[in-house]
Amino acid sequence: MTDFPTYRSQVLDYVQDNYGTVPEYPWERTPDAAVLRQKGNAKWYGLIMRIPAQKLGIPTDAMTDILNVKCSPLEIGSLLQKPGIFPAYHMNKTHWISILLDGTVPEAELFFLLDQSFARTKPTPKSQKKEEHA
């Protein structure tokens, strides 16, 4: 069984450089699953996982890295028409998509979708005020 190439390290470098995010690895059973969280409210804006490609309907025994990101439900239908983008694996399919990290999705689009997910999960000014008074 061979693995697909991966852009995992590029994504982790990007979130560190642009958002100051240090990935969390919360599960013993899946030590390579990386949670990307907002600092202000602890909401997830990304999840990197290594899964069997067959879970996405790809007919191979290979493993692949994916990135789950939050999207507008209005955009998901058109995004799913693009190569390398799938209904969210292990997440709410109304608000999340899975992106192959094998180079199928161009790096610029990958980072754009990651930026959008980060923006969608940012703390609101109302929630920031609550934290300041807590």
What are the residue ranges spanned by the domains of the chain? 8-133
Q: Which residues have CB under 8 Å from 97's CB, separation 6+?
A: 68, 69, 71, 76, 79, 80, 85, 86, 87, 88, 113
Residue given tokens 């990101």 in the structure block: 69
Give the pLDDT confidence score for residue 95 in this predicted structure: 95
Q: What is the rounded average pLDDT of the residues 40-52? A: 95
**Model pLDDT, residue 125:** 75
Architecture of domain 8-133: Alpha-Beta Complex (3.90)
> pLDDT tier at 110 (50, 70, 90 boundaries)?
very high
**Mean pLDDT of the residues in the chain:** 90
Global pTM exceeds 0.95: no
Sheet arrangement for strand 96-100:
34-37, 44-52, 63-70, 96-100, 85-87
Q: How confident is the model at residue 2 (pLDDT cuts 50, 70, 90)?
A: low
Asked if 7 and 113 touch (Cβ cutoff 8 Å), the reply is: no
